Amino acid sequence: MSKSTRVTEKGQATIPKELREKYDLDPGDEVVWVDTDDGIVVKKRTRTDARGLLVPDETPKEKREAIGEELTQRVRDRRDRNYEEA
């Protein structure tokens, strides 16, 4: 399913009713905006802590650590690019 909405001047966007119902989103629920190589992904936050947010808990420790290192490097690269542009 693909739906589009507009972003308001305040940066707000409406989640289409069909998607709110499908994913059981209610007023007050949190969503997480994830920046990926393919664009933005929006997910319903189902936990109150951050554990398992980026990688499921059952992911092997070595893979979690590798993903953590990759994300850290991406943040550093983005920070360095922004610093060079300033």
Total domains in the fold of the chain: 2
CA distance readout (Å), 40 to 23, 49, 86 = 17, 22, 25
- pLDDT band per the 50, 70, 90 thresholds, residue 59: confident
- Residue 24: CATH number of its domain: 2.10.260.10
Same domain (yes/no): 36, 1: yes
> At residue 39, what are phi and psi to the nearest 5 degrees?
130, -160
Same domain (yes/no): 22, 35: yes
Domain that holds residue 77: 48-86
Answer whether residue 56 shows pLDDT above 90: no
pLDDT tens for each residue of 12-40 = 999 999 999 998 899 988 898 999 999 99
Same domain (yes/no): 72, 59: yes
Same domain (yes/no): 37, 63: no
Answer whether residue 52 shows pLDDT above 70: no
- On average, the pLDDT of the chain sits at 85
Same domain (yes/no): 38, 61: no
Same domain (yes/no): 34, 55: no
